Amino acid sequence: MMKQPTSMNGSSTFISIVSIAAGCLAAIIAGSFLSGAIELVTIKIFPILFPILICAVGIFLGVAAYRLSRRKLAVAGIVVNALVLLLPITFIVVEW
């Protein structure tokens, strides 16, 4: 088995952290809208659609980091984004 260069492991860790941060940002946006902290009367779809887009990018980054080096941090990024992705989708199904 060949060892990967350290620079590749470092970039995989960075991408994984960005993936987790994207999931946390999407959770904050969706959670604050669903709890009523943010009220957008004119653009009601924005707080629902924006976390879905952020989570899609986060899942893509998590998969890219996992393909670079199979780390648990990359899997955590994928899982966090997948769970946060379910929040707006559940709201859409229940509300409409």
Count of residues in the chain = 96
pLDDT in the model for residue 79: 92
pLDDT in the model for residue 60: 92
Nearest-angstrom CA–CA distance, 68 and 16? 10
> With 0-12 CB in 10 A as exposed, 13-18 as middle and 19+ as buried, what is 75?
middle
Average pLDDT (72-94) is: 86
Nearest-angstrom CA–CA distance, 10 and 49? 32
The answer to whether the CB of 33 falls within 8 A of the CB of 94 is: no
Closest C-alpha among 67, 93, 75 to residue 23: 75
| Residue 5 confidence (pLDDT) above 70 | no
Give 58-67 pLDDT, tens digit per residue: 999 999 989 8
Give 9-41 pLDDT, tens digit per residue: 678 888 888 898 998 988 888 777 777 776 666
pTM of the model: 0.78
Could you identify the residue written with the tokens 């769970």?
A: 83
